[in-house]
Each structure stands twice: as structure tokens, then as C-alpha cells.
């Protein structure tokens, strides 16, 4: 937890930005597995609740009555049976005072607070919910059916939270650096143990253990697969084979729940083949290019497009694409290889604030609507960069057999693609390289003191030390 002044200041700013009404910030509840007492799914506090109320316990709700400048932490104190099984925890009143909140109340008080505010014709602001238990709570409190809650959520509150959480403060950047240091250990461990004969699950499990050992947990389910062309490929019991590539996309959360998110793609044998290098070096060049051109005032949509053009130019040189580069990119032909966006905001959520709706987090009046074209329609960040923003830079080139077949059959972008050559790449897999960029006053830099090797020679030299 940060010092109480941080939370007091954040809530003061939130009150000023929202202006009126009662704000309720729902903390998360436990999520049991198979039976109520099996806390198998790890508890993760809601990030916006954490940002304003700092407490990591389940079953809490933060209430900010803007009109009366009254703040209350709502939650039930645990009873003697809970103490027997789980140990003592601070009372809700103590937890309130630790984050500078003057009042506390049991959960039963929340309905009265909401009823009274609504009877007075005041707005009850809540954020778009993403968990079904929270939706049931909101239905009981406000009488809004879960299917209508995301659209009924407060736009003023959403935009205030996005405004505040987008630019990271020096304190938050320290946390993100801590997460990057754990991420460095995760990825270099993968490079150490990747070898023919080892299962994907073994590597994934070792990497996850590091996140659990040095932070709270991974920042998202680890992607580790020889099928790098599957965007979210979970580690399987498949055995790593010499000659193939393994893609590792993983990150950690610090104890304060700030994230890292990096991807490396490595040769299982420790050495890239020439065919792999030809593609790998294009991804490296795109990755470095994004770092070179990202700075305050530049639209991340333009960085994404610039990377797409560079990738298309290089794929043309390999004979995989053809025709005019600008026309190919305008038609979306590059999405055969890069069917996702260049990056997303990152902070307390690995896809920061995605629950508040990406079209408001990553886009604004100037950059909406987002281009509705396959590939770019997955871009999560398009607006102008500002100092303190943290975004991922994650270009990739994938050979997706089903997509090759689909586009070939329909003739989609056929004038820009060499389908005969693509056919010979169906066994290639996919490559992604990802790092997290902090936008500084006059440019940007990668987060993380130690760079996880990514230039091909550095990856090979690092892996060679462990075989």
C-alpha cells in the first residue's frame, strides 16, 4: 500500500473531476472453485478500487459522496470462525483509516446509501462491471439488470478514472520497474531451460513460479507455445523440438499489482535457422522502429501504421508480399502476418483499464472511431501519447495456416500476397517481440533496467551459456 496521502489526493481529484453524486467503487469478491470454501482461484482486487482505496481484502466497497464530501469504506468485519481458519485481519474501520477514509460501515449500509441518494434524485456513479457476482450486487443495489449495467455505468466516472490512471506517476513507475525486474527473471529463465525434450508446460510452470515467488502472480495467463501463430496459446504437454521456435509471452504483478508484459521468441535448439532469422530480424526492426518514433504528441495509431508499412516493405523483399506498400497497408494485407495492434496501455492491469472500454482508454475524439478493419480493429491504443503513459510495443509476424487458406479461397488481398510462397511457411509458427515503453518528456524508453535479450545474436549468445 502507498502512503495514505496518495489515496486522499486521488479521491480528492476524483471528486473534482466527477463533480456531483455518489460514487461507488466495487471491490472484488472471492471466486471459489467447486465448493464455497475452496479459494482455488487467486483473489485479485479490482484495480480502480485499489487505486482509490488501496486495500487488498475481498468484500469491500468504497463510497465517495461527492456532494457531502463524505467517504466511507463498506465491508463486514470477519468473525471468530474466520479468524480460526484464516487468522486475524484488520477491522474495516482500521482499513479505512489506513487510507485516510473517515467512515466505515457494514455491507448492509450500502443499500441505504444508494436508496437515499436515488430518492434525492442524485446520481449513483459506478464503473462498468466485469464479474457476475458484482453484477448481482449492483442489481440488488440499483435494480439494473446485469445485461444493462455496462451501458448504464457512469460515463463521467469512467472518464475521470481513465484521465487519472493513464499517466503514471514516479511512484507508479517505480512499481512498474519492479514488475519489469521480475519479468526479466521470468524470460531469462525460459531462455535458460528451453531445450529439445522439455515440455511447454514445464517451461510455463517454471516461469509462473518466478512471478509467484517475487510478486503476487502473473499479470495474465502465461503464453508459451511452439505454435506462436496462436495468439493466446497456452502451454501444453507438447515436447519442444529442435528446429522449432518457442514463443514466450508473460509478465508479473508486483505486490501493489503493477504489471509487466514481455514477449520473446527463441529457437528451441539455441540457434535460429536462416529462414527463421529472415522473419525474426523484421520483427526486431519493427520493434526498434516503434521505440524510435514514440514520443509525446505522436498518435500511437500512426506508430502502429508506420510499423505496418515497414513490415510490408520487408516482407516484399522476401517475396511474401507485393505491390504498392501504402496500398497494401490501406487494404489491410499486412494483417495476414500481423492480425493484432502494436500495443496497449499497461499499468495496474496488463491491458490497462480495458474493463472501462478500450474505445475510451486508447482512443479519443480525435482518433475515434477506430478503423474497423481486420487486424487494426484489435489495436487497443491509438491516441496521442503523453508523458507518463506506458504502452506495449509488440509487433509480430505469424503464419496462420487457417488464415492463409481462408484468404486464398476468398481472394482477399490477393494482389498483395504471394500465396504460393505463403504455403511453404505453414509450418513456421509465429514470432512476437514485446517490451513496455514509458513515454518521457521528450521521447520514450523501455521499462526495465536489464534488457531481456532480443537481438538474434544476443538471444543465441544468452542461450549458449546454458547448454
Quick one: 191 or 223, whose CB is closer to ligand GLY? Answer: 223
Q: How far is the CB of 311 from ligand GLY (least distance, A)?
A: 17
Q: What does the per-residue mask of binding to ligand GLY show for 300-339, with x meaning CB under 6 A?
A: ----------------------------------------
**Is the CB of residue 50 less than 8 Å from the CB of residue 6?**
no
Quick one: 226 or 262, whose CB is closer to ligand GLY? Answer: 262
Quick one: 220 or 419, whose CB is closer to ligand GLY? Answer: 220
Cell of 4: 495514505
Which residues in the 200-259 window bind ligand GLY by CB under 6 A?
220, 249
Q: How far is the CB of 283 from Mn ion (least distance, A)?
A: 14
Cell 504483478 identifies what position? Answer: 253
Q: How far is the CB of 358 from ligand GLY (least distance, A)?
A: 12
Quick one: 249 or 256, whose CB is closer to ligand GLY? Answer: 249
Q: How many residues bind ligand GLY (CB under 6 A)?
A: 6
Q: How far is the CB of 246 from Mn ion (least distance, A)?
A: 15
Quick one: 205 or 221, whose CB is closer to ligand GLY? Answer: 221
130 contacts ligand GLY (rule: CB under 6 A)? no
Question: In the set 229, 261, 349, 352, which binds ligand GLY (CB under 6 A)?
Answer: 261
Q: State how far the Cα of 108 lies from the Cα of 5, in Å rounded to an integer.
A: 28
Q: How far is the CB of 344 from ligand GLY (least distance, A)?
A: 6
Number of residue whose CB is nearest ligand GLY: 249
Q: State how far the Cα of 54 lies from the Cα of 31, in Å rounded to an integer.
A: 20
Q: State how far the Cα of 109 lies from the Cα of 397, in Å rounded to an integer.
A: 54
User: Among Mn ion, ligand GLY, none, what binds residue 220 when CB lies within 5 to 8 Å by partner kind?
Assistant: ligand GLY
Q: How far is the CB of 310 from ligand GLY (least distance, A)?
A: 20
Quick one: 256 or 434, whose CB is closer to Mn ion? Answer: 434
Quick one: 175 or 434, whose CB is closer to ligand GLY? Answer: 434
Q: What does the per-residue mask of binding to Mn ion show for 245-284, with x meaning CB under 5 A?
A: ----x-----------x-----------------------
Q: What does the per-residue mask of binding to ligand GLY show for 391-410, with x meaning CB under 6 A?
A: ---x----------------
- Burial grade of 37 (CB within 10 A; 0-12, 13-18, 19 or more): exposed
User: Among ligand GLY, Mn ion, none, what binds residue 225 when CB lies within 5 to 8 Å by partner kind?
Assistant: none
User: Among Mn ion, ligand GLY, none, what binds residue 264 when CB lies within 5 to 8 Å by partner kind?
Assistant: none
Q: State how far the Cα of 68 lies from the Cα of 412, in Å rounded to an integer.
A: 59
Question: In the set 55, 254, 294, 392, which binds Mn ion (CB under 5 A)?
Answer: 392
Binding site for Mn ion (CB under 5 A): 249, 261, 392, 434
Footprint of ligand GLY (CB under 6 A): 220, 249, 261, 344, 394, 434
Amino acid at each position: 500500500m502507498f502512503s495514505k496521502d496518495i489515496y486522499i489526493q486521488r479521491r480528492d481529484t476524483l471528486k473534482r473531476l466527477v463533480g456531483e453524486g455518489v460514487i461507488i467503487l466495487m471491490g472484488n469478491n472471492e471466486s471459489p472453485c467447486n465448493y464455497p470454501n475452496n479459494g482455488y482461484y487467486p483473489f485479485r482486487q479490482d484495480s480502480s478500487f485499489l487505486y482509490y482505496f488501496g486495500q487488498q481484502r475481498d468484500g469491500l466497497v468504497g463510497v465517495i459522496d461527492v456532494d457531502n464530501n463524505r467517504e466511507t469504506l463498506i465491508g463486514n468485519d470477519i468473525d471468530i470462525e474466520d479468524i480460526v481458519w484464516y487468522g486475524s485481519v484488520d477491522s474495516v474501520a482500521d482499513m479505512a483509516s489506513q487510507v485516510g477514509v473517515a467512515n466505515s460501515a457494514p455491507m448492509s449500509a450500502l443499500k441505504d446509501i444508494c436508496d437515499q441518494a436515488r430518492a434525492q434524485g442524485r446520481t449513483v456513479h459506478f464503473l462498468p462491471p466485469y464479474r457476475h457476482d458484482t453484477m448481482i450486487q449492483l442489481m440488488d443495489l440499483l435494480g439494473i439488470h446485469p445485461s444493462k449495467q455496462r451501458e448504464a455505468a457512469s460515463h463521467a466516472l469512467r472518464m475521470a478514472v481513465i484521465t487519472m490512471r493513464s499517466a503514471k506517476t514516479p511512484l507508479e513507475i517505480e512499481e512498474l520497474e519492479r514488475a519489469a525486474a521480475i519479468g526479466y527473471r521470468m524470460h531469462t529463465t525460459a531462455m535458460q531451460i528451453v531445450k529439445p525434450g522439455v515440455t511447454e508446460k514445464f517451461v510455463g510452470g517454471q516461469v509462473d513460479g518466478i512471478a509467484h515467488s517475487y510478486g503476487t502472480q502473473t499479470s495474465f495467463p502465461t503464453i508459451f507455445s511452439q505454435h506462436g501463430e496462436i495468439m493466446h496459446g497456452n502451454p501444453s504437454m507438447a515436447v519442444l523440438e529442435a528446429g522449432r521456435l518457442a514463443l514466450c509471452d508473460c509478465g508479473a504483478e508486483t505486490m501493489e499489482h503493477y504489471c509487466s508484459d514481455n514477449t520473446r521468441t527463441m529457437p528451441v535448439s539455441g540457434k535460429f535457422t536462416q529462414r527463421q532469422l529472415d522473419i525474426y530480424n523484421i520483427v526486431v526492426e519493427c520493434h526498434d522502429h516503434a521505440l524510435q518514433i514514440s514520443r509525446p504528441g505522436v498518435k500511437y495509431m500512426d506508430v502502429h501504421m508506420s510499423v505496418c508499412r515497414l513490415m510490408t516493405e520487408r516482407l516484399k523483399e522476401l517475396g511474401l508480399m507485393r505491390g504498392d506498400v501504402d496500398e497494401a497497408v490501406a487494404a489491410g494485407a499486412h494483417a495476414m502476418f500481423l492480425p493484432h495492434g502494436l500495443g496497449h496501455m499497461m499499468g495496474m492491469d496488463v491491458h490497462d483499464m480495458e474493463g472501462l472500454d478500450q474505445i475510451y482508454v486508447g482512443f479519443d475524439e480525435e482518433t475515434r472511431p477506430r478503423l474497423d478493419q481486420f487486424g487494426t480493429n484489435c489495436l487497443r491504443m491509438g491516441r496521442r501519447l503523453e508523458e507518463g503513459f506506458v504502452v506495449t510495443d509488440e509487433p509480430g509476424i505469424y503464419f496462420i495456416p487457417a488464415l492463409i487458406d481462408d484468404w486464398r479461397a476468398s481472394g482477399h488481398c490477393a494482389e498483395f500476397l504471394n500465396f504460393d510462397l505463403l504455403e511453404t511457411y505453414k509450418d513456421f509458427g509465429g514470432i512476437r517481440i514485446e517490451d513496455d515503453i514509458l513515454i518521457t518528456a521528450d521521447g520514450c524508453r523501455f521499462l526495465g533496467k536489464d534488457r531481456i535479450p532480443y537481438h538474434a545474436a544476443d538471444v543465441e549468445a544468452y542461450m549458449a551459456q546454458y547448454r
